[in-house]
Amino acid sequence: MQNSNYSLPAFSLRFIPIWQRNFLVWKKLAVASVLGNIADPLITLIAFGYGLGSLLKSIDGIPYIHYLASGSICMSIMMAASFEALYSAFSRMHVQRTWDALMNAPLALDDVILAEMLWAATKSVISGVAILGVMFMLGIGLHWNTLLVLPLLFVVGMTFASLGLVANALAQGYDFFTYYFTLLLTPMIFLSGVYYPVSQLPPWLQAISQLLPLSAAVHLVRPLVLGGWPMTAASDMAIIALYCVGGFYLATVLTRRRLLN
């Protein structure tokens, strides 16, 4: 069993019924869930975009509200995927014992983890689509390039869902997630160019910023929303893929050690 904890995840289509189960449960509170996920980025967009935007008209020739919107959608994807992979997944694993019930069916733990990751990514994209709709109403992102943002948002959601499941495997209670949000996600927002250019940071912080998954997401999404093309697409996708694959593997190993040993 010790060696099997570190084996590569075993993928199968058995994750689909688990994903469907989570979707059916979510449908009962879909409206409240979507509104809750878009409320914070929407408030940020309006308050900072129009409030601070009245003082800071543009950044590098880009209207500030456009600059902010193209970064805040990545932030909202990160937060939505993280909340689902942390609080909701922990509830199903530890409090409601849903995972225990699933494990009594012909399912493997790897199927459950994969379903949780893909469901968290799916839920984050649903929120992202709602935010895109608000952006369109504000006249932001009205380009054909914006269509390419949707698959990118799903990959970004997968990445932060995978990282969230790592924390979920380590958590002993809900309080643990406060540290994850406060010490990891919140600093990442301010280091990833969501609110202002990374070039304003000290050189050593700029170096750290280039290695963060949220920075890579912003580098990919912002040019597309603004009607252009990413300048460093290959390296940014490599960073996101590394965090996604590495995070999912680590989450699988840690969850196996917690539940199977």
Q: Where are the domains of the chain?
A: 38-52+63-259
Contact 138, 68 (CB under 8 A): no
Mean per-residue pLDDT over the chain, rounded: 91
Give the pair of three-digit tokens for residue 88. 């909701």
Cβ burial of 26 (10 Å; 0-12, 13-18, 19+) is: middle
d(CA 190, CA 184): 11
Taking the C-alpha atoms of residue 230 and residue 162, their distance in angstroms, rounded to an integer, is: 24
> pLDDT digit string (tens) for 149-197?
999 999 999 999 999 999 999 999 999 999 999 999 999 999 999 999 9
Per-residue pLDDT reduced to its tens digit, 9-44: 988 999 999 999 999 999 888 887 777 777 777 787
Say whether 132 sits in a helix, a strand or coil. Answer: helix
Distance between CA atoms of 245 and 167, rounded to whole angstroms?
15
* 89 and 116 Cβ atoms separated by less than 8 Å: yes
pTM comes to 0.93
**H or E segment and range at residue 62:** strand 62-63
Task: Output DSSP code: residue 33.
Answer: H
Q: What is the reported pLDDT for 42?
A: 77
